[in-house]
Amino acid sequence: MASIEIANARKSYGAVDVLHGIDLDISDGEFIVLVGPSGCGKSTLLRMIAGLEDITSGDISIAGNVVNDLQPKDRDIAMVFQSYALYPHMSVAENMSYALTLRKTAKEKIADAITNVADILGLSALLERRPKALSGGQRQRVAMGRAIVRKPQAFLFDEPLSNLDARLREQMRTEIRKLHRRLGATSVYVTHDQIEAMTMADRIVAMHDGIIQQVGSPVEIYDHPANIFVASFIGSPAMNFLEGTYETKDDNGADGAGIRLSDGSLVAVLPARGATNNQAVTLGARPEHITIAPDANSGLAARIDLIEPMGLSTLVHATLAGKPIKIFTMDRPDYAVDSTIHVSFDMEKVHVFDTKSELRLPPVIEPHPGHRD
């Protein structure tokens, strides 16, 4: 097991800069998830750690040693590919033992390791099969097994679950987490699925356009997104954004603050650090932080567009100040489409973003969790 340090790593293909100075320290035994939209450079970063892609500038160290010029085979890392990349002309057992055989590990030791790992992954009955005689889920397990038997310094995963159906993906998610707890191996896991990121990560690294946007625990990232990109990317259903102008009587907000929406209505917010009167800001509210008022006397008017029952909860689509919003509720509302409801925002939970820089303007005084009026 080992730590991985990435210092100012850059990657360009000719004139195209794909990664712009990545800094990231991954501690020993940590499960890091790189998440971001397609083309943001996640795979490229992972492949640079693996040694499959040259580093244009900067340093990558594994266990304290700079590995920039080491071949993949000398980095002692294992990788699980999205395509699984199983050797088609080898049996499951041969696939899993390939790396050990190359290292001239004793035959008995290899056999032991294979039996052991096959046991953990439920592959014991399939050891003599060729990959083409396996189902997608089984192939995925073999790919995992091939990585595990080696006991490498670190595991790298590039969207390993994206070819599985939803149920299997959910199951493998938990299994990978359990395996990680059992093996304690440093892991870097690439995905564009924010649910995988939320459920699996010790720390999430949110990337966009080759730049790290935010690093933090899933809850930190969810509750305190650094900017509009992170706020919109993490969380499903996604956060609602409403543009408006910031209003306050004095700059430290002693008299309270609010955001004036385009239709003239005012949403009360906690005074935001650095926000000035009339500044263009964006209100960010997660669907669960908007509540539907019981009567028409309070809150802002919104028009119902669609009611989406999701079993456990219901998602209400509505239009507020000309913008579509989504409201999450555990009730079972039965509003008619086009009817008017009144909604209110949880003042302590909503976010204020500077519209221009897209950065979050945190509250002057962070609300204490649990404290409510």
Binding mask 1-20 for ligand ATP (x = CB under 6 A): ------------x--x-x--
List the Cα angle 167/131/78 in 5-degree steps.
80
Interface size with ligand ATP, residues (CB under 6 A): 12
Q: Of 349, 194, 353, which is closest to residue 285 (Cα–Cα)? A: 349
Interacting residue with ligand ATP among 23, 25, 39, 111 (CB under 6 A) = 39
Which range of residues in 30-38, 96-104, 177-185, 286-294 is near other proteins by CB under 8 A? 96-104
Please state, in angstroms and as integers, the Cα–Cα distance from residue 249 to each residue in 77, 254, 275, following that order: 58, 8, 12
Residue 102 binds to other proteins (criterion: CB under 8 A) = yes
Residue 73 interacts with other proteins (CB under 8 A): yes or no: yes
- What is d(CA 304, CA 210) in angstroms, rounded to the nearest whole number? 39
Q: Work out the burial of residue 246: count CB atoms within 10 Å of its CB; fewer than 13 is exposed, 13-18 middle, 19 or more buried.
A: buried
Residue 18, contacted partner among Mg ion, ligand ATP, other proteins, none, CB below 5-8 A by kind: ligand ATP
For ligand ATP, give the closer residue by CB, 19 or 257. Answer: 19
- CB nearer to ligand ATP: give 28 or 209: 209
Three-state DSSP string of 95-110: HHHHHHHHCCCCHHHH
- Nearer to ligand ATP by Cβ, of 42 and 326: the residue is 42
Q: Does 40 bind ligand ATP (CB under 6 A)?
A: yes
Question: Residue 139, interface with ligand ATP (CB under 6 A)?
Answer: no
Of the candidate spans 66-74, 218-226, 299-307, 342-350, the one that interacts with other proteins by CB under 8 A turns out to be: 66-74
- In Å, what is the CA distance from 274 to each residue of 67, 220, 250, 252, 279? 42, 21, 12, 9, 10
Phi and psi dihedrals of 370, rounded to 5?
95, -20
- CA dist 366 and 348 (Å) reads 9
For ligand ATP, the closer CB: 43 or 279: 43
- Angle (nearest 5°) at CA 78 between 77 and 82: 135
Can you tell me which of 12, 25, 54, 89 binds other proteins, judged by CB under 8 A? 89
CB atoms under 10 Å from CB of 56, counted, come to 14
Contact letters for other proteins, residues 349-368 (x by CB under 8 A):
--------------------
Interior CA angle at 113 toward 187 and 98, to 5°?
A: 75
Rounded to a whole number of angstroms, the minimum distance from the CB of residue 74 to other proteins is: 9
Contact mark string toward other proteins, 163..182, x via CB under 8 A: x-------------------
Comparison of 113 and 304: residue with beta carbon closer to other proteins: 113
Q: Which of other proteins, Mg ion, ligand ATP, none does residue 298 bind (CB under 5 to 8 Å by kind)?
A: none
User: Which residues lie across from 32 on neighbouring strands?
Assistant: 188, 203
In the chain, the amino acid numbered 250 is D
The rounded distance, in Å, linking the Cα atoms of 335 and 261 is 24
- Candidates 2, 93, 138, 139: give the one binding other proteins (CB under 8 A): 139
Q: Measured between alpha carbons, how far is 44 from 60 in angstroms, rounded to an integer?
A: 13
Binding residues among 32-61 for other proteins as defined by CB under 8 A: 50-52
Residue 165 beta carbon to other proteins: minimum distance, rounded to whole angstroms: 12
Q: Which of residues 173-212 bind ligand ATP (CB under 6 A)?
A: 192
Verify binding: residue 43, Mg ion, rule CB under 5 A. Answer: yes
